[in-house]
Amino acid sequence: MKQAVLAAVLVLGACGTGAETVDQVVADYLRARGGAERLRGVQTLRMTGRVVLPGIEAPLVLELKRPGKVRTEFTVEGRQSVRAWDGQVAWVLPPVPGASPQPVPPDQAEELKAQADVDLSPLVNTEAKGLTVDLAGRESLPGGDTWKLVVLGGGRPARSLFVDVTSHLVVRTEEVRTVEGREVPFVTEVTDYRTVDGLVYPYRLRSGPRDDPEAWQTVEIERIDVNPPLDDAGFSPPNAAPSP
């Protein structure tokens, strides 16, 4: 549950029926999100809600801070669990009384680093992130026609973003993740977009292994705060020495 939430949390997209190039698709996306300049002005983000899996429901708080910090806090059976990346250290606090922060395994640490994106999208500040985006064509999904964008780079496998041709927002993403040493195709469905402080964010994300829909989880966001005050110390392990 903990590994998959953020990734579910982390995607949005673009375009219009007349778009023919990747630049046009991305430009439409940025306008639909509220504009590139306004998006670049977001320094911190807090998303409060819950994650729902079969038989489990847990309150969730996701905090992001530029550049590249992320903290996800769950409450499981009344006990707090934290996963975070402070730009240098990836750590986890298990939901066990008296537990101490523990380092995250390398593969999970790479996933946390990738999730530490306050833009919530590879289509924002793409070049600065060392990414490239290709337009793979038009594809029809159950909800309507989309443009398929393929994101490359960043030390990750290729990711596909499906951008609704009418709303100009991402409605689906596809990627391959490594789970217990196996490569597993993952899908995220992105819905319920709302406007917060002039910017557009999704409030419902449903994700999981493509071939196992019964194992999918849903993230339901109840509140989004743009540019709340977030102390750097909250992203570092408790009792860690301050960064120089």
Task: Say if CB 97 and CB 81 are below 8 A apart.
Answer: no
Q: What is the CA radius of gyration of the chain?
A: 17
The H or E element spanning position 140 is strand 131-141
CATH says 2-226 is which class?
mainly beta
pTM of this prediction? 0.85
- How do the domains of the chain map onto residue ranges? 2-226
Determine the 3-state secondary structure of 139 from DSSP: strand
Name which residue leads in pLDDT, 146 or 76: 146
pLDDT digits (tens, 9 = 90+) for 24-41: 999 999 999 999 999 999
Measured distance CA(75)–CA(217) in Å, rounded: 16
Q: What pLDDT score was predicted for residue 169?
A: 98
Name which residue leads in pLDDT, 23 or 214: 23
Question: Is the confidence at residue 130, as pLDDT, over 80?
Answer: yes
Question: Is the confidence at residue 3, as pLDDT, over 90?
Answer: no
**Across 113-133, average pLDDT:** 93
Question: Is the confidence at residue 156, as pLDDT, over 50?
Answer: yes
Question: Is the confidence at residue 9, as pLDDT, over 70?
Answer: no
Distances (CA, A) of 206 to 165, 171, 210: 21, 11, 11
What's the token pair of residue 59?
A: 């309150």
**Across 199-214, average pLDDT:** 92
pLDDT digits (tens, 9 = 90+) for 170-196: 999 999 877 767 788 999 999 999 999
**Across 61-82, average pLDDT:** 92
Count Cβ atoms within 10 A of the Cβ of residue 98 and give its class: 0-12 exposed, 13-18 middle, 19 or more buried.
Answer: exposed
> Residue 240: which pLDDT band, with cuts at 50, 70 and 90?
low
Q: What pLDDT score was predicted for residue 117?
A: 95
Q: What pLDDT score was predicted for residue 114?
A: 85
Question: Is the confidence at residue 18, as pLDDT, over 90?
Answer: no
Question: Is the confidence at residue 14, as pLDDT, over 70?
Answer: no
Q: What pLDDT score was predicted for residue 24?
A: 96
pLDDT digits (tens, 9 = 90+) for 52-64: 987 788 999 999 9
Q: What pLDDT score was predicted for residue 104?
A: 87
Name every residue whose Cβ is closer than 8 Å to that of residue 235 and which is 6 or more positions away in sequence. Answer: 63, 65, 69, 70, 71, 84, 85, 86, 87
